[in-house]
Structure formats: structure tokens, C-alpha cells
Structure 1
């Protein structure tokens, strides 16, 4: 016979309503009582019936995740498993489950989001990226449906809760780091220009060059997908143009791995011939040859804070919009050095 709330209440010596409030993590119940009831639940093997709770409370206890339309990026780029880990932990803390959208195109994803919301299958949505043109974000905003963006919205920034790094500042800082080593021929390999993170990092890179009085060279700027192949293709474009910089700011570690592979194939050594700084600081950066200097953007925390912020909005509709900035850190490894010309002129 299945264990019931009444069974838990009897052994814990509390009212059934108290058990219900513990399951809902009500602030009206003391932590001591919560611990006692949860211990009894564990001993008895009691699992709350979330479907029944949803019918009673008009809440699904579910969060929808809006994934990129490119499955290659989701399955290959380590950013997504890590951010999903943070989202999962943040949701689990409040007993929410996660539902992922599926779709091969932006249109399919949009239709899936509309269906999910109109069908009452989720209490809120999290966008795992921010685009310059984003039909889904506009729909959520117009519907006044609870949602949070990982990344900075391109517009309506003050009225949309989002969790982000200061990508402009980070890109400016790593470009200045390369300039401080003596580099003047610095390139930028970024992702899709429809992604706000790409735009912010590009602008930070350009600002650092401008402040240093270094002319912008358009041939040094390449955009591609946040994939290993994207980095390889970017190097091929640079080589074919004949405009090879002495240093690169690469907007993603997986792309940077592709850059390293392509450079190695043509006999260009890192950092002896070319220095590289990348972003994300996933395991790839540490295991690359040479290990990559990378910006640690605290991916797990981006996910955790996004889930936490969305649940706050769900449980308190009057919760004001917030901008949560997750700190970053530049982790120096072995992929950067002075340019060859400078080394040769050192006494």
C-alpha cells in the first residue's frame, strides 16, 4: 500500500497540513520541523504526488528551457551541460522540474514555446541565450509570462530579469592583456552576430583597440558557430586572406580548440607564433595543448541564479525585474606570450 501524507504526519507527530506545507517548502514552517518531517518521509519512502498538487494549486512546478535551434551546439559545446547543471540544482532546491523545448528551427522552437504556455504545462521559461532578433523573447514579454534570460536582452533591458556576465568589460580586459604583452595585430573570432554575447564581446575588443590607438583591421574579425569546426574555419579564412594577426581573442573555448588544431596543421605554434585568449574556462581550456588562457564566466552560477530568479518571479508576481551580474575571472595559462618581434628585440 502506498504511503500517504497522513502516515507521514502520524509518525512525525504533526498535522497533515504541516506535511503539505513542508512539501511546498513554506516559510511558515520552521527549519527544525521541516527536517523532522523530511526525515520521516525519507524513512517511509514517501514521494509527493506532484500531479495532484498541481491540480490543487494551479501550478505545474515545472520550468521550460528554451534551447538553441542548433542541436550541434547543444550537444557538442560544454557550456550547455554545465549551465544545465546549475539550472537543475536551482530548480531542485524548490522542487521544480525542467522541460526542454525541442525544434530544429527557430520557428519550430517558437511554436513549441507557444504550445507549452497556452497548454499550461510550465510556470515559467528560461532562455539559454539572448538574440538581437528574438521572436520568443518578444512573445514572452508581450504575454507578461514569467521568464528569465541567460544573457543580456538586446532591448527592454530594464524590464526583463536576466543573468549575465559583463561581456563587454571582459573582452576589453583580455584584449588589453594581449596589448600589455606587446601585441598590436590582434584578431577576434566570435560567434553568430545575432547573439548579444557576441556583440558585447566584439564591442569590448574594439574599444580596447581604440583606447590603445591601434587601428581596427576588418580582416582580423571572423564570425562562425560556437563549435570546434567554427574555429578551424576561422583560421582557414585568416590564412587565405593573408592577414595573420599575432594574437587572437576567441569567444569560446571549443572554438579555440579548433583554432589550435588548424594552426598546428600548418605549423603555426602557440604561443611562440600566435597568442590566444578564449572564453568560458571549461575543461577543454585546461586540457588543450598548450593550456588556454581563458575567461572563467562561472557557467554553473549563471544557470543556478537564473533558476532561482525565475522561481522568485513565479512565486511572487510582483517581483521587480533584476539584472544579476555573475563575476568573471581571467585564468592565465600557457597560450599567451610576447609577439615574436618583441622577443627578438629583447636584450
Structure 2
């Protein structure tokens, strides 16, 4: 027979209301009483039904975390475990749990979010992406459901709380960094342009070329989906141009690792023959060969602050809209060389 709160109260010689307050960590209950009741709960193996308590309070004490892909695909990218670690750290401090999305397609993700909201399975939602013309974001906005975004929204920027890096600026900065090393032919391997982060980084790259007096060429821009589809063919064609690039800006460290492998197959050495700089500064980036120069985008902080912002909105639905850019740092390693030193 299951142990009930009444059994605990009887054994601890307190009222059921006192047990309930101990479970809620009510400050009005003395530490001595809390300790006594908790010892009885542990001895009787009583586990409070937090779900029932939360439903009664019209709160689930849970936040939904929505990824752009299914969990099986998302966790192949080191970005997601780290950003979720930041979310969990904030949520745990406020005694919240997290509900991870499992949808594999854009439609499945949308339906799952609708179910979360209409079924009141969570108190708020964090979108770990910003997609162009995103149906899910529009639904959350129209439903007036508490949510925050990791990434600048494509629309309604003034109405949505989000946290991000200044992706246009950091892309601009890495081009300037390469320019100052003497590079004038700088290629860009970009991400999926359905996502705002990819669009912003491409725009930052293009603006930097203009500001440094260089020219943009379509031949120097490759979509990372093309690399996934054709393997090293795209990189081979890039390096066989009449004027090949001396440097590549990669959208993500994972893409950079792949590029380095393809270049090795073509007997092109990094950084002797070409330099590479990337974004995200994954933990492996210091250990690949050569160690990768990458922009540290403070992934943990993105997750931590997105959860903080969401919890503020859950507590106070009238909390003002917030926008925050997390600082970034260029971590210089061995994948970029001064062009003047090439061949010396």
C-alpha cells in the first residue's frame, strides 16, 4: 500500500499541513521540524506527488526547451548539450525541471509546442533557434504564452525577449582579423539560410568585405548543405578557382573540422596553404590538428540567461521585453597564419 502524507504526519507527530509545508520548504517551519519530517519521509520512502501539487497551483514548475531538430540529431552538435547545461543550471536554482522537445520535423516541432501550450504541460518555453518565418514562434506570440529565444527573431524583434550574440559584428570582426593578417581572398562557408544566425553571419561577412575594400564573389560562398551533399567536391572546386582563397570563414566548428579533413585529402595544409577561422569554440577545437581559431560565443551563458529571462516572464507576465547580446571572444590558435609568412 502506498505511503501517504497522512502516514508521514502520523509518524512524525505533526499535522498533514505541516508535512505539506515542509515539502514546499516553507520558511515558517523550523529547521528542526523540517529535519524530523524529512527523516520520516526518507525512512518510509515517501515521494511527494509534485505533479499533482503543481496542477493544483496551476503551475507545472517545468519549462519546455525546443530544438530545431530532433534530440538525436541536435545532440550531435556540441552546442546543444552546453546551452542546455546553462538552462538546467538556472532552472534548478528556481526548482524548475525541463521538458525537451522530440519532434523531428518542423511540423512535428510545431505540433509538440501546441500540445505543450494547450495541455499546460509547461509554464514557459525556450526556443533554441530563430527560423525565418517560423510558425512555432508566431503561435507562441499569438497565444501570449511565456517564451524566450536564443537567437534574434526574424520578425517582431521589439515584442519578443531574446538573447543572442551580435552575429553580424562577430562575422565582420573575423574578416577584419584575416584582413589584418594579410588575406585578401576570403571565402565563407555558411549555414542554413532558413535560420537567422546564418543570415546575420553572412551579412556580417559581406559588409566586412565592403568595409575593407574587398569584393564579394558568389564563387567564394558555399552553403554547408552543399558540402554535406557532395563531400569534398565543393571544397575542391573552391580551391581550383583561378584565384583560390587564402582564408576561409566557417559557420561552425563542426563545419571547420570537415573542411580541414577535405583539404588534407587535397594535400592542402592549414595554415601553411590556407587559414581557417570559425565560430562556437567547441571543447574539441583546442585538440584538433591544427588547433582551431574560433570565436567563443559563451554558449553556457546563452542558455543560462535565456532561462533567467523566461522565469522572469513566468513570474511576472508584464515583465518588459528584453534583448541581450552575450559578449564573445576570438580564441587564437594555430589554424590562421599571416599571409606574409606563407612560404617562408
Superposition TM-score, scaled by structure 1 size: 0.86
Which residue matches 1:190? 190
Q: Output the aligned Cα RMSD.
A: 3.0
**1:225 and 1:304, CA in 2 relative to 1: closer, same or farther beyond 3 A?**
farther
Change (3 A) 1:48 1:35: farther
- Following superposition, the deviation at residue 47 of structure 1 comes to 4.9
Q: 1:290 to 1:2 in 2, by over 3 A?
A: same
Shift in Å at residue 302 of structure 1? Answer: 0.8
Aligned to 2:215: 215
Distance, in Å, in 1 between the alignment partners of 2:326 and 2:36 is 35
- State the shift of 1:242 in Å: 5.5
Task: Verify the 8 A CA contact 2:19 2:37 in the aligned structure 1.
Answer: no
SS at 1:149 equivalent: strand
Deviation at 1:337, TM superposition (A): 0.8
**C-alpha displacement of 1:218:** 1.4
In 1, distance between residues paired with 2:11 and 2:232? 59
| 1:216–1:248 distance in 2 versus 1, CA, 3 Å | same
Larger Rg: 2
> Which residue of the partner structure matches residue 295 of structure 2?
295
Cα distance in structure 1, aligned partners of 2:227 and 2:308: 29
Matched, 1:167 2:170: no
Q: Shift in Å at residue 103 of structure 1?
A: 2.1
Match of 1:121 in 2: 121
Could you say which residue in structure 2 is the equivalent of 1:149? 149
Partner residue in 1 for 2:341: 343
Cα displacement (A) at 1:325: 1.6
Distance in 1, matches of 2:151 and 2:31, equals 35
Shift of 1:140: 0.5
Q: Which moved more, 1:254-263 or 1:37-46?
A: 37-46
Q: Tell me what 2:22 maps to.
A: 19
Structure 1: how far apart are the matches of 2:215 and 2:56? 64
The number of aligned residues is: 336
Distance in 1 separating the partners of 2:323 and 2:11: 41
Q: In structure 1, what is the equivalent of residue 259 of structure 2?
A: 259
Which SS does the other structure have where 2:155 is aligned?
coil
Q: Counterparts of 1:51 and 1:65 in 2: how far apart (Å)? A: 19
Provide the C-alpha distance between the structure 1 equivalents of 2:31 and 2:232, rounded to a whole number of angstroms: 54
User: SS at 1:22's partner residue?
Assistant: coil
Is this contact kept in 1: 2:68–2:74, CA < 8 A?
yes
Closer, same or farther in 2 for the Cα pair 1:286/1:51, shift >3 Å?
A: same
Unaligned 5+ residue runs, structure 1?
24-28
What SS class does the counterpart of residue 248 from structure 1 fall into?
strand
- Cα offset, 1:41, TM superposition: 4.0
- The two structures have a TM-score, normalised by structure 2, of 0.87
Measure, in 2, the Cα distance between the counterparts of 1:240 and 1:70.
37
